Copies of this chain bind each other. A is one copy, B any other.
Amino acid sequence: MGYHPHREVAVPEGELFIVSSPSGGGKTTLIRRVMEMLTQEGRKAYFSISHTTRKPRPGEVDGKDYYFVSRKAFLAMVDAGAFLEFAEVHGNLYGTSWKEVAGKREAGFDVFLDIDVQGARQVRGKVPDAVKIFIFPPSYHELKRRLLARRQDDAEVVRLRMQNALNEMREYGEFDYVIINDELEVACRELVSIVTASRLRSNRMRVRVESIVDEYARHLKEDS
């Protein structure tokens, strides 16, 4: 005992989970529910808040649902290189700032990004170790039903979203995982499983495992 200096065991950095789906695919509801489940288990999970130039929908709160900013302010952030990804979707700008993600990961939080397929494409290049998850609608009719139920878009916008969804779904192979969002509770459990498994990858377990191996080797030497 004692010939090893006391070492601070570093907190393993949190993972970055990119959760994408076509509009209406249900990714936001899914992530919110999974955040609750993880937090209840005492796990450190953070739902990244995006910047957007879109107007708040009824009930949406600035700094909670989004950071609502003007187009001018958004473009100034783009100029300053503040965004990990940003995209114009259906006429509005959406973006995730580097600041939003990096600090939380360093503190050991798993960070969840709720971004569309365009945005996911940008993050893939910049954060190669991100875990990329595509949420599939279960069927054409179910996606259409969900988009119409939101009652926030006119028929033409719904038609456009339905067409975009097809092109986006065809990119599923660029993601690590696919979850079919048919029953919410099943989909949530599946996402939690992906999060749990990602933490157990051997390269992610390095810090804990090497500390066990070092101590083991020390005891084995002392015992013989």
B200 and A177: CB pair below 8 A? yes
A219 and B177: CB pair below 8 A? no
Which chain A residues (161-181) contact chain B, with CB distance < 8 Å? Answer: 162-163, 165-166, 169-170, 172-173, 175-180
Most buried by B among A137, A203, A208, A220: A220
A169 and B202: CB pair below 8 A? no
Q: Is A80 an interface residue (CB 8 A)?
A: no
Q: Is A139 an interface residue (CB 8 A)?
A: yes
Interface size in chain A (residues, C-beta < 8 A): 47
Q: Which residues of B contact A64 (CB under 8 A)?
A: none
> C-beta contact mask, A120-146 vs B, less than 8 Å → 1, else 0?
000000000000001011111101000
Q: Is A185 an interface residue (CB 8 A)?
A: no
> C-beta contact mask, A87-119 vs B, less than 8 Å → 1, else 0?
000000000000000000000000000000000
Q: Which residues of B contact A189 (CB under 8 A)?
A: 196
* Docked pose: A177 CA to B215 CA in angstroms: 21
Q: Is A184 an interface residue (CB 8 A)?
A: no
Task: Find A213's partner among B169, B201, B212 (CB 8 Å cutoff).
Answer: B169
Min CB–CB distance A127 → chain B (angstroms):
18
Shortest Cβ distance from A170 into B: residue: B213
Min CB–CB distance A26 → chain B (angstroms):
14
Q: Is A224 an interface residue (CB 8 A)?
A: yes
Contacts A170-B213, A190-B196, A213-B169; A219 near B141 (Cβ below 8 A): yes
Min CB–CB distance A147 → chain B (angstroms):
13
* Docked pose: A178 CA to B159 CA in angstroms: 46
* Docked pose: A84 CA to B136 CA in angstroms: 37
Q: Which A positions have Cβ atoms within 8 angstroms of B?
A: 134, 136-141, 143, 159, 162-163, 165-166, 169-170, 172-173, 175-180, 189-190, 192-194, 196-198, 200-203, 205, 208-209, 212-213, 215-217, 219-220, 223-224
